[in-house]
Amino acid sequence: MLSEDGKHMYVSWDEYHALIEKLALKIYKSDWEFDQILCLARGGTRPGDILSRVFDKPLAIMSTSSYRESAGTEQGHLDLANYITMPRGELEGRVLLVDDLADSGETLKAVANRLVGTSPKITEMRSAVIWVKGISTVLPDYYVEMLPSSPWIHQPFEEYDTLRPPRLADRWKI
């Protein structure tokens, strides 16, 4: 749900999961066959996990971080993990790169550039996100919603960014 000023968008768990399912259908309808999924943690972890299950494909994870400033609301320096975690082998063949959104597009661009230089066994790579903001310099191959006003997206799991064990214990009366 977009706020009246167009600067904030609030997403419930049900909406979030529905959007991931719509993303899966867009990928499916494209008839593109891929071999592996590489999700970008943290934002791409949930979509990547669901897509991995729906398509029955192995899931690899690469940790990235850029939203650390002002309690995670301002993009800062982009850090990319040196290693990719996967159950076996290495990235190869056709890889689907998954994140939650293309904000500035810098994360998707940086990861794609790194993989081109370090993973010669990748034969093709496409990207998939739930949202693309109007300010993004990258247009992913698959996305569900284009957001021309580039609102701040309040995702349902954000409450855990500030929820600490004492408050959680109080919630559950433990």
In this prediction, residues 44-60 reach a mean pLDDT of: 97
Q: Which tens digit of pLDDT belongs to each residue from 156-168?
A: 999 999 999 999 9
Q: Which tens digit of pLDDT belongs to each residue from 72-81?
A: 455 557 887 7
Is residue 31 domain-resident? Answer: yes
Q: Which tens digit of pLDDT belongs to each residue from 7-24?
A: 999 999 999 999 999 999
Give me the number of domains the chain comprises: 1
Residue 29's pLDDT is 98
Q: Which domain holds residue 112?
A: 8-171
Residue 86's pLDDT is 85
Residue 68's pLDDT is 47
In this prediction, residues 51-71 reach a mean pLDDT of: 82
pLDDT band at 121 (very low <50, low <70, confident <90, very high): very high
- Are 131 and 147 a contacting pair, CB within 8 Å? yes
Q: What is the CATH number of the domain that holds 79?
A: 3.40.50.2020
How far CA 126 is from CA of 35, 94, 129, 164, 171, in Å, comes to 11, 8, 10, 37, 42
Is residue 110 domain-resident? Answer: yes
Give this prediction's pTM: 0.89
For the beta sheet containing 101-102, the strands, ordered from the edge strand earlier in sequence to the opposite edge, are 101-102, 131-133, 145-147
Is residue 65 domain-resident? Answer: yes
